[in-house]
Amino acid sequence: MKNTVTSFMAAKGKEKLSMVTAYDYSTARMVQESPVNAILVGDSLGMVMLGYENTLAVTLEDMLHHCKAVARACRDPLLVCDLPFLSYHISVEDSVRNAGRLLAEGGCEAVKLEGGVEFCQEIRSLTRASIPVMGHLGLTPQSIHAFGGFKVQGKSIAAAQKLLDDARAIQDAGVFSIVLEGIPQALARRISSELAVPTIGIGAGAGCDGQVLVWHDMMGISARKPKFARCFAELAPTFQEALRNFDAAVKSGEFPSSEYCYQVEQEEEIAARIK
Ligand code: KIV
C-alpha cells in the first residue's frame, strides 16, 4: 500500500508509524520490500555516508544526489528528504526554491526541516507551494553548536514548555508530522497527546506515534551508535567475516573457481593464437 502524507496523518491514534533512513538505491530497495511506512533521506548521511563529524557540511546537492538514488527504488514508503543546514535559513524564497528542487528533481514527497516557531513563515510558504513539511524538534543536529554538543533537550520546565509551544506553532503553520529527537519520554508523550499530527520519535521514548532509526545504527554498522538506537541486526561482524573470507580465497587462488568464469567455445585456442 502506498504511504502518503494523508495516510500518515490518518494513522494517528490508530497505528504506529515506522520510518528508517536510506541514502542509496540498494538500501531503498530493501525498505521497499518491507512493511516500513517511510524512508527519510536524512542529512545524517553527512556522518554515516560521508564521514563528517556532524551534519553541517551537507549541501543541497548532496541531498539531491542521494534522494534521486533512493527515489528510484522507493514506491510504497512515503519518501521524505531533509532540507540541509542553510537551505531554509536565509530567506523564505530560498526555502521554497530548495525544497521545490528536492521534490521536482530529487523525487521526494515531503521535506523535513529542523526548528520551531522561528520557522513558521517558511513552513507556511512551503505548504502554500504544496510542499508537505515534516517538522523536527528537540535535539536537532543542525543546532549542535548552539546546544554545546549532542545533548538531551527539554530537561527544565522552561525548555519543555518551549518545545511544546514550538510543536503547537509548527503544527498550526502546517506540518503534517513532527520528529521528536533526544527529549525525555514524558515530555514526548505529553507533546504527542497534545497534537493532532503524528510525532515520530528518536531517543524520545515509546509515547510517540511512530519511531525512526538511522539505517547504520539499526543494522550495527555505524562508527558511533547513540544510546537510544537499538541494533536490530549486528551486521558489522558478518561483513568483516565476508571480507576475511574473500581475502583468503583470493590469496589462496581458490576464488574464482570455474563456476564463476565465462565458458567460451575454443577459448584456449583463441587465447593461444592471438599475438
Ligand atoms: O538526518 C536524520 O537521519 C534525521 C533523523 C535522525 C531523524 O534527521
pLDDT digits (tens, 9 = 90+) for 157-191: 999 999 999 999 999 999 999 999 999 999 999 99
Q: Please give the number of the atom of ligand 1 that sits closest to the Cα of 141.
A: 8
Query: In angstroms, what is the span from residue 136 Cα to ligand 1's centroid?
Result: 9
Query: In angstroms, what is the span from residue 83 Cα to ligand 1's centroid?
Result: 11
Q: Please give the number of the atom of ligand 1 that sits closest to the Cα of 42.
A: 1
What are the boundaries of each domain within the chain? 5-234, 238-273
- Among 79, 85, 181, the mutation site with the greatest number of ligand 1 atoms within 8 A of its Cβ is 181
Question: Which residue's alpha carbon is nearest to atom 3 within ligand 1?
Answer: 42
Place of cell 512515503: 78
pLDDT at 111: 99
Place of cell 543541497: 60
Closest CA relative to residue 61, chosen from 46, 48, 71:
46
Query: In angstroms, what is the span from residue 107 Cα to ligand 1's centroid?
Result: 18
Query: In angstroms, what is the span from residue 42 Cα to ligand 1's centroid?
Result: 5
pLDDT at 157: 98
Tell me phi and psi for residue 162, to 5 degrees.
-60, -40
Active-site residue, from 109, 114, 122, 181: 181
Place of cell 491514534: 13
Q: Cβ(178)–Cβ(167) under 8 Å?
A: yes
Closest CA relative to residue 196, chosen from 11, 44, 72, 4:
11
The pocket around ligand 1, CB under 6 angstroms, is made up of 21, 40, 42-44, 82, 136, 179, 181, 202, 212, 214
Q: Please give the number of the atom of ligand 1 that sits closest to the Cα of 112.
A: 8
pLDDT at 225: 85
61 in active site: no
Low-confidence residues in the chain, pLDDT < 70? none
Please state, in angstroms and as integers, the Cα–Cα distance from residue 208 to each residue in 17, 157, 190, 198, 242, following that order: 9, 20, 9, 8, 38
Q: Could you tell me which CATH number the domain at 5-234 has?
A: 3.20.20.60
Query: In angstroms, what is the span from residue 80 Cα to ligand 1's centroid?
Result: 11
Q: Please give the number of the atom of ligand 1 that sits closest to the Cα of 200.
A: 7
Question: Which residue's alpha carbon is nearest to atom 2 within ligand 1?
Answer: 42
